[in-house]
Amino acid sequence: MSIIPVPKNVRIQSMNPQMKIEFFTDEEIERMKNYIQMQFKNNNKRSEVHKGYFALVITLLRTGGRIDEVLQLKARDFSLENNTVRLKTLKRRGETYRVIPMHPELRSVILEYFLNSHIDPRSDEKVFKMTRQGVDKYFKKMQSSLNFRIHAHKFRHTLAVKAIMSGVPLNVLQRWLGHASVFTTSIYTEITGIDTRGFMEMVK
């Protein structure tokens, strides 16, 4: 498969008003992390719950997985030996999995979470014990405190936009996100408003 490159000098020109896709800014990501960390530091009775949500947020952010895919993750899906995460692609028929690289931040958070929660990384134990409804409720509460929209799919869009802006090839991002077609993935180039001058510079 040939690589479909994205110029390294991409930059955000303008948001396309036709694209109804939201993603988090770096500042918003830090505010969410700080919010959850404060919850498990100040609430001893529910600290383990908040630590679980912190690990969930980092997993969503660093894998681009759909919420239902991430909630199905088992401990052994995080391969600490190979530094990969295996996600079951729920948008496909049958048993379809995709394996994506594990971001250093995700590895660090998951290792600590496994240790604190006494989860055997080689086991079939479910990593995240919360329900989809519980996740929605938690994010709505965090949203009301931080005053910006927070929903699970927004983390997926954030990973995609960050990848595009970092020069990740479209067909690599396609595999990470589990899209059936690279044309679905290419919508993120419209969202970020890529400066196409970088493509012209690549023409020999």
Q: At residue 87, does pLDDT exceed 90?
A: yes
Going 58 to 64 to 66 to 72, the CA torsion angle's sign is negative
> Which helix (DSSP H) or strand (DSSP E) does residue 87 occupy?
strand 84-88
Classify 98 as helix, strand or coil. strand
Extents of the domains making up the chain:
26-167
Q: What is residue 99's three-state secondary structure? A: strand
Pick the CATH number of 26-167 from 2.60.40.1120, 3.60.20.10, 1.10.443.10, 2.40.50.100: 1.10.443.10
pLDDT at 109: 97
167: left (phi over 0), alpha (psi -120 to 50) or beta: left
Give the pLDDT confidence score for residue 159 in this predicted structure: 93
CA–centroid distance for 183 within its chain = 20
User: Contact at 8 Å (CB) between 149 and 157?
Assistant: no
Torsion of CA 74, 77, 78, 84, to 10 degrees: -160
pTM higher than the cut 0.85: no
Q: Is the pLDDT of residue 8 over 50?
A: no
Least confident of 63-67, 138-142, 171-175, 195-199: 195-199
Highest mean pLDDT among 88-102, 154-168, 187-201: 154-168
- Comparing 200 with 70, the larger pLDDT belongs to 70
Average pLDDT across the chain, whole number: 85
Alpha-carbon gap, residue 176 to 71, rounded angstroms: 17
